[in-house]
A and B are shown apart, each in its own frame.
Chain A
């Protein structure tokens, strides 16, 4: 196969230093270098071990319930009035979101490293629930760091984590959201890495995390690709996913990044919040500049001096001022487009999908739905769009109802 232009090879990254072009790398205090090196080495061993793959595949099938369906959303398509819309149903994965794919994979690595405690940061609580679940499966001790603002917004998930036996550690510093929970988790890990593994929940953090999380989430894209060939008879024309840190998007995009952009368009949807003004959104690629946050170089929402900017989104899982370094690279190479949709559009899409299909999406995933509705309307009816429906909305009910009522006033 030959292509006229020199497209960079997007599937053999990161390089050995954890670089995706100029992004990624390892920017952590020396205290953590040993721990991240240990994770990288164990992951390399696990990849060569057929037993590891067998064990993970069995868990994903028998415990998570994979593969998750690819569902043709007929009434949603009619509502949009254009291209056919398919939903990759990660909301049907055990615990209600894609986060479990990564949590189980990293829990297996934890056990291989002989560590007995796992920690995690969480925003929406889905990664926290997934990690607490993995801890229960493997009999590990588990602490989940969560901003107190997010504990308020995602109360049902706090209850679930506690029922699962995890400790939820309230984080009061800074904006009391995902960024601060991540700081707290990294600080804990600096003192405890001898017996503790930090299960980072998104494709962020120092190398090897962006790579490991992407790999564990790529099961979404691999399944999706095969399901498209079977159900549509060809690859989809457009794949859409919401992007906070970017794990569900990386997972569904990665198996498509080698396809020509003319054949399969990929679009990441960031949280546009209330407005494009600083502090009103969480769209790191759309409005950020290169910088280092939480151990890697990527686009970061920051002021002119490099201080992390305040962010806002109705969706706790997207309420993060950074983004995975591979997304930064995909953006700069032009392989993936990044757009943003507002809180208001997301809430409308939340209601539209719920009413049309009887599927209550997470507020995070509702951002992807909003963009897909807009896009479908502009495309011919013989085209096919896949939305990664990354999670279900049960956790959001109180917050969504509050926002819907507020919008009426």
Chain B
């Protein structure tokens, strides 16, 4: 039986990789995909804790997180498409709309 620490460490590694993707990549779609990776890593930790204590609530939370991720992707990709239509680019370094 794999100890729960192993799952939490794996979840941390995936989360950090996702965070680095958010910080380092310039392609807005890649940034979004990295956010999905971070959500997924936290889901893994929730499921691991759920198994550890034999309480189903963690899995129900994962269910909600997946739903929130789906709605976030729908709105986020719509934003990206709109930005691309206006700027002809989805490079987030070239987007300075909020600088005033």
* A and B are partners in one complex rather than unrelated chains: no
Show the binding face of A for B, using Cβ within 8 Å. Answer: none
Show the binding face of B for A, using Cβ within 8 Å. Answer: none
